Structure 1
Amino acid sequence: MFFQSTEGIAWRLGQDALPKSKQRKWKAMIRFRIKELLAEKEFREQRKITLGEVSEKTGVNRTSLSKMQSPIMRHSTTTNAIDALCRYFRCQVGDLMVYIDDDQIEAQNDRESE
């Protein structure tokens, strides 16, 4: 399940890992698909590609890329970074980022709790 502590630090944890008073289920979010796009590019080019290489070629900080890969970080970025990543992966913005609404998050949380 996705939870966020009252201090604003996010974790992906089991149901009982945080006290109920500190749990807040995620609401709708934008999720970056960097992991998927990176895997597709690696497959096409038949080689391993590191985040360091992506950072070097795009000018997007490696730490930012790492945060974008993690759905629980809820990373904010610039349009310049989005443009550079779309150019690198040769994709559209909708391929790089997807909007996940409350219903999809709730359904995922229900599946994980079963």
Structure 2
Amino acid sequence: MNALIPRPSREVAPGAWHVPDWLTPAQQRELVTACRAWATGPVPIRHTRLPRGGVMSVQTVCVGWHWTPYRYTRTADDVNGRRVAEFPEWMVRLGRRALLTAYGDEAAAEDYTPDTALINFYDGQARMG
């Protein structure tokens, strides 16, 4: 996309890249639609309870593997005992494309096979750190 003010890709922290306009608006909508579907189940989005009893302000839904503090499982025993949604092949391809775009390393992109996604929802009450 050509912009009046260029927005080049840049490394914002070691290993973390910001790549403006990487996904088209249509692709962004498709991703949001998928995230909303995952948030409804089979394991719905939730506020994770921490080992000391606190509850995270952010809501999370997991795909591929379920995250609870300090471990990953295939079933959400802390929520409803159901198996989490499968990690879709199109997300594997998207991850590979992201890696290639950010780093330009074709071999690393080809070898990359993600198997989980933690999708966070920050409402007006949620905060990081």
What TM-score results when the alignment is normalised by the length of structure 1? 0.27
What TM-score results when the alignment is normalised by the length of structure 2? 0.26
Higher strand share: 2
When Rg is computed on C-alpha atoms for both structures, the one with the higher figure is 2
